[in-house]
Amino acid sequence: MLDDLKFIHQRDGADALGIAERQASQLTYKFDKPAVSGPFENVVYAGMGGSALAALLSRSWPGYNLPFEISRQYHIPGYVSDKTLVISCSCSGNTEETLSALAEAEGKGAKIVIIAGGGKLEEIASAKSYPFLKLPKAEQPRYAVLYNLVALLTVLEAARLVDEADINAQLAEAGAFLTETVKAWTATVPTAQNEAKKLALEMAGKSPVIYGGPLMAPVAYKWKISFNENAKNIAWWGEYPEFNHNEMIGWSSHPIDKPYAVVDLRSTLEHERIQKRFEVTERLLSGLRPAPHIVNVQGKNLLEQIVGAVAFGDFVTIYTALLNNVDPAPVELVERFKKELG
């Protein structure tokens, strides 16, 4: 089925596979640098769903040398002040939680930057002269995560919170790496040689559970979202080492034949004790849970590993969508929910 290009074309109406194949170009997109003046004591990023994914990834790379928090709700942290950089992000520009958080940030005198694809956030930025970065149009927010990451990095560069030259060099190298890497997962590569198709076949009919160490945990969460929204498949995610302090016990009881598919995202850049935890866990839970599908993420540095693992998850979940006989792109229930919520 996954080698039938006619079937794929019929089911993948928005060309999600093509978007996944081309996403490397997002890493070299150039945003106009905003005027952002510090110094800052902390950074708060307000965003929901796919609009928050880039912020999650940024905690692994490039990381922060001052307190950084992601607000995925209607409110902002109580410590926000005029020394806080608040980045409000919504691909649609109309996310109500983000708009509420922005209003609170204004009330506290925070320095505000807006990242959006348009909507009310763009109108607010224009009316109040807030620094504004406009995201290129994307079929869905989860397909624009790398655009969003570059926009966030542009803000951090302007605020002098990251090294601009080093960031841009790594982005360019990661773009070249990803362009080559995804070629092995495209629709024209037959299943026998296509690791993304193979893993999708293992996921079909099951509920995926994706695990990562601290560096790969944001990627595991991205996989979870992609299974939800691409494949219309319930999925969960978890993080080591916390997993070993509670969740692993949940796998140790009945029933032994559990309807799940476990995926471990393993990076050689994780702390050596994290790598050992994966190995010991696999041995101790053998026979008590489905054997994990081990994804050894590739790349010579952390950014390459992150973008490569993100892209691999995109292909796996899009192929799972096709096996589930659904169109990967639309999220009709979310749109209906927003309408009924009013």
Express each pLDDT in 168-185 by its tens digit.
999 999 999 999 999 999
H/E stretch holding 302 reads: helix 302-323
For residue 286, pLDDT over 80 is answered with: yes
Which of these is catalytic: 104, 122, 229, 304? 229
- Whether the bond into 330 is cis, omega within 30 of 0: no
Q: Mean pLDDT across the stretch 95-111?
A: 98
Burial 158-186 (b: 16+ CB within 10 A, else e): bbebbeeeebbebbebbbebbeebbeebe
Condensed to tens digits (0 to 9), the pLDDT of residues 42-92 reads 999 999 999 999 999 999 999 999 999 999 999 999 999 999 999 999 999
pLDDT of residue 342: 86
**Is the four-CA dihedral 332, 336, 337, 338 of positive or negative sign?**
positive
Q: Mean pLDDT across the stretch 210-225?
A: 98
For residue 237, pLDDT over 80 is answered with: yes
Q: Give CA–CA dist 325/320, Å, rounded.
A: 9
pLDDT of residue 306: 98
Task: Write out the two tokens for 335.
Answer: 């749109």
Q: Give CA–CA dist 209/221, Å, rounded.
A: 10
- Calculate the average pLDDT of the chain: 96
pLDDT band at 139 (very low <50, low <70, confident <90, very high): confident
For residue 255, pLDDT over 90 is answered with: no
CA distances from 292 to 156, 198, 232, 278, 313 (A): 37, 14, 22, 10, 15
Question: Contact, 61 vs 86, CB < 8 A?
Answer: no
Which of these is catalytic: 9, 75, 128, 338? 338
Task: Write out the two tokens for 268.
Answer: 């050689």
Q: Mean pLDDT across the stretch 106-134?
A: 98
pLDDT band at 152 (very low <50, low <70, confident <90, very high): very high
Q: Give CA–CA dist 141/135, Å, rounded.
A: 10
Which of these is catalytic: 245, 254, 332, 339? 245
Total-model pTM: 0.96
Residue 245 is among the residues annotated as catalytic for this protein: yes
**Is the four-CA dihedral 41, 118, 76, 140 of positive or negative sign?**
negative
Q: Mean pLDDT across the stretch 261-290?
A: 97
Q: Give CA–CA dist 12/20, Å, rounded.
A: 12
Residue 134 is among the residues annotated as catalytic for this protein: no
Condensed to tens digits (0 to 9), the pLDDT of residues 198-213 reads 999 999 999 999 999 9
Domains belonging to the chain, first-starting first, are 5-15+183-323 (3.40.50.10490), 23-176 (3.40.50.10490)
